[in-house]
Amino acid sequence: MASILTNSSAMSALSTLRSIASNMESTQNAISTGMKVSKASDNAAYWSISTTMKSDNLALSAVTDALGVGAAKVDTAYAGMDSAIDVMTTIKAKVVAAQEQGVDKAKIQEEIVQLKEQLESIAKSSSFNGENFLAVETIETKTVVSGFIRDASGNVAVKTTEYELSQDNLLYRLDAQGEIDDAQESILTSTDNVTVSGATAAVASIKIVDLDVEADDLDVALASIDLALEKMTSAGAQLGSLSARVDLQSDFSSKLSDAIEKGVGRLVDADMNEESTRLKALQTQQQLAIQALSIANNDSQNILSLFR
């Protein structure tokens, strides 16, 4: 039925045109933002997941930065311990040389004094951002941030890797003024016993910090140095293992961050090839819809011509 009051064809064409315009707006938004889900109304579930994971990824990025700081602290401590081992090895060679008859022990002692001062310098200066793993006033457990975790229940936590300081991995203990306190037990102030020629001898009077080749029993001194080197090597191995762990965690955090970013991208990023093709199709549909609306509007004019 033809009617000049109700143009069903025009109404249908107009409805189609509105629908196309809405789709074009959505497509143009995806093209301009690069995202198919840029707000909650686009897809509430995907928007919620992506927002949460983006937040977690920022936290993970902070963890990666913290791992860099932790790695620097551990590497600084390892470098200090490695240098201290080299100095202690040199002291050992000097004590061996002092056992030779006719050598000038006073000259050797002068060298050893300088080497002991070098050990102190290494221990005090092996600090990064105020953190020192080789010389401290108070024994404590050092921590390095190693991860950010969200469990199945949505609970979040920051994980840390611990390095426990003790008298067996500290070169020195410091007093309140930051000076060497040889009354506190550490690797170089230890009063452990050593075995010399099958007999057990106390080394309380031959601490490394008090080593004197002119007055000390050189066999006991040599045994004391060997014991100190053993502890220093063990501490160096601990620091090396911790450094390797931090490096592995840093690599993992970087890969995990990339994986999360890719996962979020799959949820919310627009396929630009697809959106471009859709836009061209919608533009064609829009032109056809406009033409259809024009034709429908002309139907009334055709009816009027019947009365001429």
Residue 144's CATH number: 1.20.1330.10
Residue 172 falls within a domain, yes or no?
yes
Residue 288 falls within a domain, yes or no?
no
- Residue 136, SS3? strand
Q: What is the DSSP letter of 152?
A: T
| Stronger pLDDT, 80 or 306, i.e. the higher one | 80
For residue 237, what pLDDT is reported? Answer: 95
Q: What is the mean pLDDT of the chain?
A: 83
Residue 231 falls within a domain, yes or no?
yes
Mean pLDDT is lowest, of 198-212, 224-238, 264-278, 281-295, for 198-212
Question: How far are the Cα atoms of 7, 149, 296, 304 from residue 1, in angstroms, in the given order?
Answer: 10, 68, 14, 15
Q: Is the predicted pLDDT of residue 306 greater than 70, yes or no? A: no
For residue 132, what pLDDT is reported? Answer: 93
**Which stretch, 80-89, 204-213, 262-271, has highest mean pLDDT?**
80-89
Q: What is the DSSP letter of 182?
A: T
Mean pLDDT is lowest, of 192-196, 281-285, 288-292, for 192-196
For residue 29, what pLDDT is reported? Answer: 74
The number of domains in the chain is 1
Residue 275 falls within a domain, yes or no?
no
Q: Is the predicted pLDDT of residue 214 greater than 80, yes or no? A: yes
Residue 241 falls within a domain, yes or no?
yes
Mean pLDDT is lowest, of 39-48, 144-153, 211-220, for 144-153
Residue 308 falls within a domain, yes or no?
no
The pLDDT confidence band at residue 197, using thresholds 50, 70 and 90, is low
| Stronger pLDDT, 217 or 119, i.e. the higher one | 119
Q: Which domain holds residue 174?
A: 40-268
Residue 290 falls within a domain, yes or no?
no
Q: Is the predicted pLDDT of residue 113 greater than 90, yes or no? A: yes
The pLDDT confidence band at residue 125, using thresholds 50, 70 and 90, is very high
The pLDDT confidence band at residue 17, using thresholds 50, 70 and 90, is confident
For residue 204, what pLDDT is reported? Answer: 44
Strands (E), 165-286: 172-173, 193-196, 199-202
For residue 283, what pLDDT is reported? Answer: 83
Q: Is the predicted pLDDT of residue 199 greater than 60, yes or no? A: no
CA 18 to chain centre: 51
Pairing type for strands 193-196 and 199-202 reads: antiparallel
pLDDT more than 90, % of the chain:
26
Strand (E) or helix (H) holding 279: helix 272-305
Residue 298 falls within a domain, yes or no?
no
- Give pLDDT tens digits for 63-93: 888 888 888 999 999 999 999 999 999 999 9
Q: Write out the two tokens for 82.
A: 């490695």
